[in-house]
């Protein structure tokens, strides 16, 4: 489903973010990518959504080589990968429903279809009664659930969650992780980027450890080892 | 798909316009002030031009004939002058009419009125008032009058006094034109820069949202669209609000200003009414184009997210 083949990336001549990274993620997997801050985890996410291009190597998503993807094809790629960020990245001037619907509107979906999908995803994340609220009227956990709902609207085969629990308390963290596991059970491949030890250890799923731009561990039922 | 996207872009633009109402109010206020300075500049230019034209219109060559001159002879001279180059108009003022006008002009001067009564008969002769097609051509007409020895038939030619005035008017009008051109350029540049930066700041405020829209897969034009429409809305509202307020204000102060322009026969309301579409169209076009350019430039920077 996702292949990083011998990826290297430098931001400055002195800053080597990734060094010859090889990673293969199969369909339906739940993979935790762990490591300290600044070790290259977010760079991998950026490569996956074509926010950055690698200096060397190949990135393949669902059989599509996106290594040198043209700018005009980037929106199409991003509509196929759901992404959840630590800071939620919601549009502050749009309501919950509008934020979620926006991801469908950019793809040109019809109003009726949007309403139908909207009801479904808001039900999944448990926010159907708060659809008219603005992001600032919600708690951090609720905002993250809106972000997950938005990531789900295209029924993506891949969901990337970059530190989704970074700003949440333990209760909200558990809710969000339960939600991600539920989504994974429906067959969506999940790439969870985190440095939250408890979250990773509680999952007992595949753990890829990255340090200083290199993969130093890859275990099927791993733990946070750093 | 295209119609659906366009409809959504329009809806997002109106939504953003209303939900960011304070940003909209500030931007529209700046546009109102810009249109005010553009309009005032246009009016200054028009009034200055009108004033100079009005003064120039009063310049003429007057040929005064002796009292009791033969009107047929004067008519012959008039015909001869009509044939000269650069003559726009020749007015024949009979001796009676000349007296009537003289008496009217000095109706408050008792001394002159008494003197006219004392004389009993008309001391004035007929007058020919000659207008040139351009202020520069009076010396040529004057030369022709001398060449045809018409000046020998007349008692007096009233032009020499005007020559100095004409030169001064020419000089002053040239200076006014230069000054208003410089003023227009400076004010226009300042106004345009202010609007340009206001729009850029507006987009800068939304830079995070632009990044988010890109991350959820919006195409660049789907992101640009609402911002462009919003900037056009600012221009339309700004110009409309300005003109409504300006017309109300002008209607209120026009009676006071009318006295000021009485000498040059100029009415701001009449001028604005007859040229409204041109001025309004010009201003709204300038502001719309400027807003679009500012938005595009500002957004290109953030769309590289």
Asked if the C-beta of B111 comes within 8 angstroms of chain A's C-beta atoms, the answer is no
Which carries the bigger pLDDT value, residue A225 or residue B7?
Answer: B7
Enumerate the residues of chain A whose CB falls inside 8 A of the CB of residue B305. 51
Of B8, B20, B209, the CB nearest to A105: B8
What does the alpha-carbon distance between residue B107 and residue B131 come to, in Å, rounded to a whole number? Answer: 27
Radius of gyration of chain B (CA): 31
Q: How far apart are CA A116 and CA A112, in angstroms?
A: 6
Look at domain A2-219 and name its CATH class.
alpha beta
Q: Which string of DSSP letters, residue by residue, matches B273-305?
A: HHHHHHHHHHHHHHHHHHHHHHHHHHHHHHTT-
**Contact call for B213 and A91, based on CB within 8 A:** yes
Predicted model pTM:
0.73
Interacting residues of A19 by C-beta distance below 8 A, sequence separation 6+: A8, A212, A213, A214
- Identify the segments of chain B with pLDDT beneath 70: 160-163, 257, 259-265, 304-305
Residue B117: CB atoms within 10 A of its CB come to 8
Which chain A positions have a beta carbon within 8 Å of B222's beta carbon? 106
Query: Residue A46's pLDDT is what?
Result: 92
Q: Which residues contact B124 (CB under 8 A, 6 or more apart)?
A: B67, B95, B98, B99, B102
Quick one: CA torsion of B283, B286, B292, B294, rounded to 10 degrees? -110
Q: Which of B5, B209, B222 sits opposite A91 (nearest CB)?
A: B209
Beta-carbon separation of A108 and B5 below 8 A: yes
Beta-carbon separation of A106 and B212 below 8 A: no
- Cβ of residue B16 closer than 8 Å to a chain A Cβ: yes
Nearest CB among B8, B19, B305 relative to A93 is that of B19
Cα separation of A226 and A223, whole Å? Answer: 9
Of the candidates B151, B101, B91, the residue with the CA atom closest to the CA atom of residue B124: B101
Q: Which of B213, B216, B224 should be substituted to probe chain A, the one whose Cβ sees the most A Cβ atoms within 10 Å?
A: B216
Which of A86, A91, A151 is the best residue to mutate to test the B interface, defined by the most B CB atoms within 10 Å of its own CB? A91
| Residues linked to residue A33 through DSSP beta bridges, in sequence order | A193, A208
Q: Do A110 and B222 touch (CB under 8 A)?
A: no
Residue B153's SS3 state is coil
pLDDT for A181 equals: 92
Angle at A99 between CA A95 and CA A100, to 5 degrees: 120
Tell me whether B3 touches chain A (CB under 8 Å): no
d(CA A44, CA B93): 97
DSSP A13-67: TTEEEEEEEEEEE-TT-EEEEE--TTSSHHHHHHHHTTSS--SEEEEEETTEE-T
- When pLDDT is averaged across residues A80-86 and rounded to a whole number, the result is 90
Q: Which of A92, A110, A150 sits opposite B216 (nearest CB)?
A: A150
How open is the CA angle B220-B226-B227, to the nearest 5 degrees?
A: 85
Select the residue of B8, B20, B218 nearest A75 (Cβ to Cβ): B218
**C-alpha to C-alpha distances, B34 to B89, B198, B230, B283, nearest whole angstrom:** 44, 12, 18, 10
Contact (Cβ atoms closer than 8 angstroms) between residue B90 and residue B152: no
Is the Cβ pair A75, B5 closer than 8 Å? no
Please give the Cα distance from B31 to B25 (Å, whole number): 10
Chain A residue set in contact with B, beta carbons under 8 Å = 49, 51, 72, 74-79, 83, 85, 89-94, 102-103, 105-108, 110, 150
Cβ contact, residue pair B217, A107, below 8 Å:
yes
User: Any chain A CB within 8 A of the CB of B277?
Assistant: no
B15 at interface of A, judged by CB pairs closer than 8 A: yes
The rounded distance, in Å, linking the Cα atoms of A5 and B268 is: 75
Number of other CB atoms surrounding residue A66 within 10 Å: 21
CATH 3.30.70.3040 in chain B, residues?
A: 60-159
The domain at B60-159 falls in which architecture? Answer: 2-Layer Sandwich (3.30)
Of A43, A66, A57, A35, which is closest to residue A216 (Cα–Cα)? A35
Closest CA of chain B from A71, distance in Å: 10
Nearest CA to CA, how far is B240 from chain A (Å)? 27
Taking the C-alpha atoms of residue B173 and residue B134, their distance in angstroms, rounded to an integer, is: 15
CB contact under 8 A, A93 and B305: no
Contact list, A83 vs chain B (CB under 8 Å): 215
Q: What is the mean pLDDT of residues A99-113?
A: 91
Q: Name B62's bridge partners.
A: B129, B158
Confidence at residue A207, expressed as pLDDT on a 0 to 100 scale: 93
Distance in angstroms (rounded) separating the CA atoms of residues A93 and B194: 26
Measured distance CA(B305)–CA(B72) in Å, rounded: 90
Structural domain boundaries in chain A? 2-219
Can you tell me the distance from the alpha carbon of B197 to that of B34, in angstroms, rounded to the nearest whole number? 13
* DSSP SS3 for A77: helix
Distance CA B253, CA B240 (A): 20
Q: What is the DSSP letter of A162?
A: E
Mark yes or no for CB contact B219/A106 under 8 Å. yes
């Amino acid at each position: 489903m996702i292949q990083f083949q011998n990826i290297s990336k430098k931001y400055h001549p002195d800053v080597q973010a990734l060094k010859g990274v090889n990673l293969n993620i199969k369909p339906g997997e739940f993979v935790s990518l762990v490591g300290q801050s600044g070790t290259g985890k977010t760079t991998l996410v950026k490569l996956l959504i074509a926010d950055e291009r690698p200096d060397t190597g190949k990135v393949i998503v669902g059989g599509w080589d996106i290594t040198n993807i043209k700018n005009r094809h980037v929106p199409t790629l991003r509509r196929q990968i759901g992404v959840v960020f630590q800071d939620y990245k919601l549009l502050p001037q749009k309501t919950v429903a509008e934020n979620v619907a926006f991801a469908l509107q950019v793809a040109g979906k019809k109003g009726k279809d949007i309403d139908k999908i909207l009801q479904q995803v808001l039900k999944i994340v448990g926010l159907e009664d708060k659809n008219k609220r603005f992001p600032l009227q919600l708690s951090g956990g609720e905002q993250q659930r809106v972000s997950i709902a938005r990531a789900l609207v295209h029924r993506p085969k891949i969901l990337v969650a970059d530190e989704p629990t970074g700003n949440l308390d333990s209760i909200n963290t558990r809710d969000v992780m339960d939600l991600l596991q539920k989504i994974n059970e429906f067959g969506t491949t999940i790439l969870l980027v985190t440095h939250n030890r408890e979250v990773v250890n509680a999952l007992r799923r595949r753990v890829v450890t990255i340090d200083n731009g290199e993969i130093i561990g890859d275990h099927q039922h791993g733990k946070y080892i750093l | 798909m295209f119609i659906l996207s366009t409809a959504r872009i329009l809806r997002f633009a109106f939504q953003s316009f209303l939900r960011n109402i304070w940003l909209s109010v500030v931007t529209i206020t700046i546009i109102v002030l810009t249109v005010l300075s553009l309009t005032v500049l246009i009016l200054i230019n028009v009034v200055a031009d009108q004033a100079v034209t009005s003064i120039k219109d009063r310049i003429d060559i007057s040929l005064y004939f002796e009292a009791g001159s033969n009107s047929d002879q004067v008519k012959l001279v008039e015909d001869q002058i009509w044939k000269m180059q650069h003559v726009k108009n020749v007015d024949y003022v009979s001796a009676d009419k000349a007296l009537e006008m003289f008496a009217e002009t000095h109706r408050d001067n008792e001394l002159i009125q008494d003197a006219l009564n004392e004389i009993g008969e008309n001391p004035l002769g007929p007058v020919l008032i000659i207008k040139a097609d351009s202020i520069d051509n009076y010396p040529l007409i004057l030369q022709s009058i001398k060449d045809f020895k018409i000046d020998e038939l007349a008692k007096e030619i009233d032009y020499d006094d005007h020559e100095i005035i004409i030169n001064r008017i020419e000089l002053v009008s040239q200076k006014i034109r230069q000054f208003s051109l410089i003023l227009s350029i400076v004010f226009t540049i300042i106004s345009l820069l202010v609007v340009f930066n206001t729009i850029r700041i507006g987009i800068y405020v939304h830079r995070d949202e632009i990044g988010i829209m890109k991350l959820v897969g919006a195409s660049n034009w789907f992101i640009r669209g609402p911002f462009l429409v919003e900037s056009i809305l600012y221009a339309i509202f700004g110009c409309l609000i300005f003109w409504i307020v300006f017309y109300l204000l002008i209607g209120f102060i026009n009676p006071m200003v009318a006295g000021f322009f009485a000498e040059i026969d100029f009415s701001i309301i009449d001028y604005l009414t007859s040229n409204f579409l041109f001025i309004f169209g010009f201003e709204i076009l300038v502001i719309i184009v400027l807003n679009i350019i500012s938005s595009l430039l500002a957004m290109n920077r953030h769309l590289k997210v």
